[in-house]
Structure 1
Amino acid sequence: MSGIEQPVLQPLYRVNKFAVPPDARDEFLDLVAKTFAVVRGQDGYVRDWILEQNSGPGVFNFVTMIEFASEEVAPRVAAALARLDGELRLDREAMMGRLNIRTDFGSYKRLDSLLA
């Protein structure tokens, strides 16, 4: 043993919420499929969920959640998605505006202090 402690890497969770009008659903899901195909190929990708609301009064009818091995993965994934957007000639913000999709994005870490 070297005696040098390695930092404990904590998973990073990316949670994206979308309020998608019914007439934008197909185009939105097509982009989600392309996005997740890139994300799933990245080193440090762990798993994902794509959820569609089926009941309740919530505003957001789609939620995507991606688990990464650590926050160090995020810049590589962002760069890979920027390359995808360049290949598709896509401005995601403009697309969301055109389709009248409202969004809420964030990265999260598990709060282990409450899991005892």
Structure 2
Amino acid sequence: MSIQQSGQAPLYRINKFSVPTESRDGFLDLIARTHAVLRKQEGFVADQILEQQSGPGVFNFVTTIEFSGPEVIEGIIAAVATFDQREGIDRQQAMAGLGIKADMGLYRSLDI
């Protein structure tokens, strides 16, 4: 069996968050505002915001964002940075203040 990366396949951003109960509303507000910006960007395809309903695990929220490919990432990062600056958001400080731990990364689908 051969495992290969797809040629010009979509790129996925998968973010996992451990959010304390008391920080849920603040976290969801930030996620909603961020995804509103993402949804307007060229190369955005789809997203999901998921909340764990059962089972063990460290992360109780997962977001997935599908982009058309790596060529759009730079523009999307710039759009979110502009939004953060305009809104006075320091993401690292906001997450620390809410007691949120995160694991984030870009993923590509494999043909298996």
Q: Indicate the TM-score class for this superposition, using the shorter chain for normalisation.
A: over 0.9
- Structure 1 residue 95 corresponds to structure 2 residue 94: yes
- What TM-score, normalized by structure 2, do the two folds share? 0.92
Alignment of 1:1-116 (within 5 A): 8-112=7-111, 114=112
- CA positional deviation for 1:73: 1.1
Residue 4 of structure 2 aligns with which residue? none
CA RMSD of aligned residues (A): 0.7
Runs of 4+ in 1 over 4 A off after TM superposition: none
> Structure 1 or 2: larger strand share?
2
3-state SS in 2 of match to 1:56: coil
Q: Which runs of 5+ in 2 are unaligned?
A: 1-6
Q: Which runs of 5+ in 1 are unaligned?
A: 1-7
> Aligned partners of 2:71 and 2:21: how far apart in 1?
36
SS of residue in 2 equivalent to 1:84? helix
In the alignment, the residues of structure 1 paired with residue 21 and residue 72 of structure 2 have an alpha-carbon distance, to the nearest angstrom, of 33
- Paired-residue identity, %: 54
